[in-house]
Structure 1
Amino acid sequence: MRRETQNILLVLLGGALLKISFSGLYLRYVQKSLLPLLIAAGVVMIGLALFAIIRDIRRGKAADEHDHEHAHSSRSTWLMLLPVMAVFLISPPALGGDVVNSAADTNQTQRSRNLLGELPSGDVIPLSMTEFVTRTAWDESGTLDGRRVRLTGFMLRSEGGTFVARLAISCCAADARPLKVKLTGDVPTIADEQWVEVTGQVVPKSANEQNSWVPSFTVESFTSVPEPVEPYES
């Protein structure tokens, strides 16, 4: 690969990292806590490219090459630019229902045995999908029984049931794991992948090993909402 090509790729890749970092698109790839590392990586790549360009100019590096070599290098350069340009031109959606359906059932929850904290007071408790699913799987005292809970996720229909689902990540989208809750009662017809806030109550003892720890949830109310800025839970 020619040095000019390397420098161009470094500038574009560094620029792509900075673009997704400052536009907020990075949240579709990695956790929020990794933002400083993305920015640092983009700055370093651009800095290395500029340093190399300035060094080559000072050395008076000749750019004349015979026509065949120039044509071959140009084709290779354009091919290597394709994935970088894709970052600039394409804004991928957050992972959704396809990942939930295709993931192994054993990934439904981390099933952590860490001690669970006290539930907040109030008529309706807003909980993350992660905490709700973990509590229904491991809290044998039934602290959620009879409590009204509000969950936020996207609609999903599969295996003859209707679910509200969400994806959680530990580091980046590559390690996304599905979380889903089966809806019962008066469930309105809402398109798959539509984000909703749903209020209701857990069906006691509904999450078990036989159904891969998927709790059932009796619906009281539904509200359609925009996709959150941070679509993944951690």
Structure 2
Amino acid sequence: MRRYGPAVLLALVGAAILRVSLFSDLYLRYVQPALRPYLVVSGVVLVLLGVAVAVLVRTAEDGEVQEDDLGAPGGDTHATAGHTHGPAGPRVAWFLTLPALALLLFPPPALGSYSAEREADRRAERGVGTFPALPAGNPVDLTLGEFGSRAVYDSDRSLAGRTVRLTGFVTRDADGTWYVTRLLVSCCAADASSARAEVRGAAAPPVDTWVTVTGTWHPEGEPGSDAAWPPALDATSVQRVRQPDNPYEKR
């Protein structure tokens, strides 16, 4: 049975990838939607490789049995009892199946407040400038990334007087200040950075709770200055929502 270890491991990893990419939207916790076809192909290839390895191992075992039968005088089956050919590999290698089983049965959640806090003080250098006009009507649905960019860098102050609606998860500072936060990715969760807006005038839900916050921008400092970051929002309503299928924003 130990000879089938590589085949089992390949099949488990392939099945886990297919589970999160082909049979569900869980892959969105880790990568951008455009990468789904590559995940599906990778999963199929790994499963097929697992099957191929198992067939090769089985074929090799059958060949060894035939050689042993031919070499045993009078067909004495006891001559091959306990006989093995080649190393079967260390038993500890079976522990490699545990991560694959974990991904198959218990896919890790999307990144949350811990990751956002680690990156909260890092933001790209950007110049102050103008932005395209916002759509007419209130409230305006904006991503956290777009809201933060306009609030910090828009010299025309296009957010002034507008009601906006932001969706993200709750993060909190040690002093009780809380934020609606979203992680931005270019490719996958490994390159995630955070965008957040301070929420004022409303009680904070528990950390990592997903919420939709409606309110108006509270300008502070000059565009592009440290005082303008993080942007603030005077909330008129905070509604708990379920985590979206794609928890990340495109950077």
Using the alignment, how far apart are the partners of 1:114 and 1:77 within structure 2?
57
CA contact (8 A) 2:129 2:153 kept: no
Kindly state the Cα deviation for residue 89 of structure 1 after the two structures are TM-superposed. Answer: 2.3
Residue matched to 2:187: 171
SS for the counterpart of 2:31 is coil
CA contact (8 A) 2:219 2:228 kept: no
The reply to whether residue 4 of structure 1 matches residue 4 of structure 2 is yes
Residue matched to 2:19: 19
The reply to whether residue 82 of structure 1 matches residue 127 of structure 2 is no
Question: Greater Rg, structure 1 or structure 2?
Answer: 2
Residue matched to 2:146: 131
Kindly state the Cα deviation for residue 96 of structure 1 after the two structures are TM-superposed. Answer: 1.0
Which amino acid in the other structure matches residue 240 of structure 2? S
Instruction: Compute the TM-score of the two structures, normalised by the length of structure 1.
Output: 0.86
Which amino acid in the other structure matches residue 183 of structure 2? L
Deviations 1:12-52 (A, max 9, x none): 11111001112211111111111100001001111222233
* Shift in CA distance, 23/230, structure 1 to aligned 2, threshold 3 Å: same
* Shift in CA distance, 98/61, structure 1 to aligned 2, threshold 3 Å: farther
CA contact (8 A) 2:129 2:154 kept: no
Residue matched to 2:161: 146
Matches within 5 A, 1:83-98: 83-98=99-114
Q: Structure 1 regions of 5+ residues with no counterpart?
A: none
CA contact (8 A) 1:200 1:218 kept: yes
* Shift in CA distance, 100/211, structure 1 to aligned 2, threshold 3 Å: farther
SS for the counterpart of 2:40 is helix
Aligned-residue sequence identity (percent) comes to: 36
* Shift in CA distance, 62/105, structure 1 to aligned 2, threshold 3 Å: farther
* Shift in CA distance, 131/11, structure 1 to aligned 2, threshold 3 Å: same
Which amino acid in the other structure matches residue 19 of structure 1? R
Matches within 5 A, 1:85-234: 85-103=101-119, 105-107=121-123, 111=126, 116-160=131-175, 161-184=177-200, 186-206=201-221, 208-211=224-227, 213-234=229-250
Q: Structure 2 regions of 5+ residues with no counterpart?
A: 66-81
Residue matched to 1:41: 42
The count of aligned residue pairs is 229
SS for the counterpart of 1:142 is coil
CA contact (8 A) 1:112 1:134 kept: no
Instruction: Compute the TM-score of the two structures, normalised by the length of structure 2.
Output: 0.81
Residue matched to 2:76: none
SS for the counterpart of 1:229 is coil
Kindly state the Cα deviation for residue 167 of structure 1 after the two structures are TM-superposed. Answer: 0.8
Using the alignment, how far apart are the partners of 1:30 and 1:130 within structure 2?
18
Using the alignment, how far apart are the partners of 2:202 and 2:237 within structure 1?
9
Query: Please, what is the CA RMSD of the aligned residues?
Result: 2.7
